[in-house]
Structure 1
Amino acid sequence: MKRLLIIMACLWFGSLQAQDWQDSFEDALALANEQNKPVVLVFSGSDWCGPCIRLKRGILDSEDFSAYAKDHYVLYNADFPRKKKNQLPEHKLNENKSLFTEYNPKGYFPLVVVMDKDQKVLGKTGFNRKASPQDYIALLDGFVK
């Protein structure tokens, strides 16, 4: 019984973390317009790109970034996994490819694009392994101001 409660608590906590990331770019834009927040669009290769994985683990999944982002950004991850077991549904892959063509024509991974609610690009960045979550927040905020 105790084991079941622990598993359920982990799943519940995981679902709280996942709520910050929008399921579609369209949803992200709608929320950005509703809440007057910038969109943080992340291009990643979640199962093959080492810097993408480090960005996610070290910055994006950190408590500091998650808490700050919840109040200041709308988040969308345009992921491009390669492993068969991680493949995205076709509609999501097509949406990500469209975003890739428009916002990441040079094919950088990871690439983080900050844009306003009207899709005007305010700034782009990648991953700096020496950056803390607070440094990354300051960098993204610098694009918005």
Structure 2
Amino acid sequence: MKKFLTIAFCIVTAMLHSQEWQPSFDAAVSLSQKEDKPIVLVFSGSDWCAPCIRLKRNILESEEFKSYASSNYVLYNADFPRKKKNQLPEELSSVNKTLAEKYNPKGYFPLVVVLDKNQSILGKTGFDVKASPKKYIATLNGFVK
């Protein structure tokens, strides 16, 4: 019985981590280089941007996207919350601002930038309310050569 519980615990843990958003952009770049996967860099305003919230709910948190992303992308969310209770640590906020200056100078939200392992832009997209997870995956994959 102990073996069964241990195996079940390992399987559940692996499933929970199947789509892992990287805690830092440096971690995302390192993982991208190690696994030779493109980086999906999401610029969002998690507590004020309605389209960002819909992108997260309808696409990024869908089972179809999570399942596909776990094997094919490295994910990083450059968040720009406005509410005081949601503020990021200064170091993380500073990194996100630097990323925005480089990859999102016009300040579009949401903006999804697909990068190669060398941090070169492969493509950019926003959020279309009519897009399904499958269509969104196809759009992202269209940037990867």
TM normalised by structure 1 equals 0.88
State the match for 1:105 in structure 2: 105
Which whole-Å CA distance do the structure 1 matches of 2:90 and 2:120 have between them? 27
What root-mean-square deviation, in Å, do the aligned CA atoms of Structure 1 and Structure 2 show? Answer: 1.6
Which whole-Å CA distance do the structure 1 matches of 2:89 and 2:41 have between them? 19
- CA shift for structure 1 position 123: 0.1
Q: Extract unaligned runs of 5+ from structure 1.
A: 1-11
Number of residues of Structure 1 aligned to a counterpart in Structure 2: 133
- CA shift for structure 1 position 19: 5.5
Which whole-Å CA distance do the structure 1 matches of 2:38 and 2:87 have between them? 28
1:34 and 2:50 are equivalent in the alignment: no
Task: Read off the aligned partner of 2:127 and give its amino acid letter.
Answer: F
Q: Conserved in 1, the CA contact under 8 Å of 2:65 and 2:134?
A: yes
User: Given the superposition, is the C-alpha separation of residues 84 and 18 from structure 1 closer, same or farther in structure 2, using an over 3 Å criterion?
Assistant: farther
Q: Extract unaligned runs of 5+ from structure 2.
A: 1-11
State the match for 1:24 in structure 2: 24
Task: Read off the aligned partner of 1:74 and give its amino acid letter.
Answer: V
* Partner SS, residue 28 of structure 1: helix
Task: Read off the aligned partner of 2:27 and give its amino acid letter.
Answer: D
Which whole-Å CA distance do the structure 2 matches of 1:19 and 1:133 have between them? 14
State the match for 2:120 in structure 1: 120
State the match for 2:73 in structure 1: 73
Q: Conserved in 2, the CA contact under 8 Å of 1:17 and 1:66?
A: no
Task: Read off the aligned partner of 1:54 and give its amino acid letter.
Answer: R
Which whole-Å CA distance do the structure 2 matches of 1:18 and 1:134 have between them? 18
State the match for 2:87 in structure 1: 87
* Partner SS, residue 112 of structure 1: strand
- CA shift for structure 1 position 16: 1.9
TM normalised by structure 2 equals 0.88
Which whole-Å CA distance do the structure 1 matches of 2:78 and 2:136 have between them? 19
Which whole-Å CA distance do the structure 2 matches of 1:17 and 1:51 have between them? 26
Q: Conserved in 1, the CA contact under 8 Å of 2:18 and 2:67?
A: no
Task: Read off the aligned partner of 2:103 and give its amino acid letter.
Answer: Y
Which whole-Å CA distance do the structure 2 matches of 1:120 and 1:131 have between them? 25
Which whole-Å CA distance do the structure 1 matches of 2:82 and 2:16 have between them? 26
